[in-house]
Structure 1
Amino acid sequence: MAHHKSALKRIRQDEKKRVHNKYYAKTTRNAIKDLRNVTDKAEAEKMYPKVASMIDKLAKKNIIHNNKAANLKSKLAVQLNQL
Structure 2
Amino acid sequence: MANHKSAIKRIRQNKKRALHNKYYAKTMRNAVRKLRAITDKDEAAKLYPIVQKMLDKLAKTNIIHKNKASNLKSKLAAHVNKLG
Category of TM-score, reference length = shorter chain: over 0.9
Between the aligned residues of both structures, percent identity stands at 67
Partner of 2:76: 76
Partner of 1:44: 44
Matched, 1:5 2:5: yes
Unaligned runs of 5+ in 1: none
State the 4+ residue runs in structure 1 displaced beyond 6 angstroms. Answer: none
Unaligned runs of 5+ in 2: none
- Matched pairs, number: 83
Backbone CA RMSD of aligned residues = 0.4
Structure 2 length-normalised TM:
0.97
Q: CA deviation at 1:75?
A: 0.3
Inter-partner Cα distance in structure 2 for 1:22 and 1:53: 18
Higher RCO (C-alpha 8 Å, min separation 6): 2
Structure 1 length-normalised TM:
0.99
SS at match of 1:3: coil
Partner of 1:57: 57
SS at match of 2:63: coil
